[in-house]
Structure 1
């Protein structure tokens, strides 16, 4: 089982700590299952970069990155070396602690409402 601390770039959002998270789940599914909105416009098929997040600590507990995921990360807003797509990285069997940062998702909400930035 894992413990995951989720931080947010969006102003006014407090961190959330998720306890007893089972392995073999994607970070996207974990977020959604715990009421943490993480955009996923392509339906979690690795065809966009809206579920982009940062793995602050615990990258070793996640499945490896594929070249396809790398290609889409390059298209994300502000990619960093610790960037991953939430739909593509799953927790490996075992236990540990991770910390992730969810980028500000407001741009996607505004795009859906027809407000262009």
Structure 2
């Protein structure tokens, strides 16, 4: 079985990073475990929209979006059809996922 990998791309021009992930980790977990700053004001429990990301590859393999997650994405800055909350994107073995982290406002707005 192939490794689960996730590639992070950044809207602020940083070079992309690819990391191996364990099954059961969320996109948010992988980002934080690898020193990638991704806001998560609610602590990763689908209680806000600060960990909003765009899924560029592998979205069909992620868990289906819940109504609660969809409601929070509606409140995110610049939501798109491929928007998800990183805390809700739980990875399974063998997945290849690519996400773009939108520009984040670190002032708490």
Under a length normalisation based on structure 1, what TM-score does the superposition of the two structures give? 0.85
How far off its partner does 1:5 sit? Answer: 1.1
From 5, 8, 11, give the equivalent of 2:10: 8
How far off its partner does 1:96 sit? Answer: 2.7
What are the Cα deviations for residues 2-44 of structure 1, in whole angstroms up to 9, with x where unaligned? 1111100013x1100113x111111101100011110001111
How far off its partner does 1:60 sit? Answer: 2.2
Give the match for residue 25 of structure 2.
Answer: 25
Q: Which has the larger radius of gyration?
A: 1
Give the match for residue 97 of structure 1.
Answer: 96
What are the Cα deviations for residues 55-102 of structure 1, in whole angstroms up to 9, with x where unaligned? 00101221111000000000000000110001111013x303111000
Number of residue pairs matched by the alignment: 107
Under a length normalisation based on structure 2, what TM-score does the superposition of the two structures give? 0.91
Greater shift, 94-103 or 66-75, is seen at 94-103
Q: Distance in 2 between matches of 1:102 and 1:56?
A: 10
**What are the ranges of 5 or more consecutive residues in structure 1 without an aligned counterpart?**
none
Q: Distance in 1 between matches of 2:50 and 2:95?
A: 26
Shift >6 Å, 4+ stretches: none
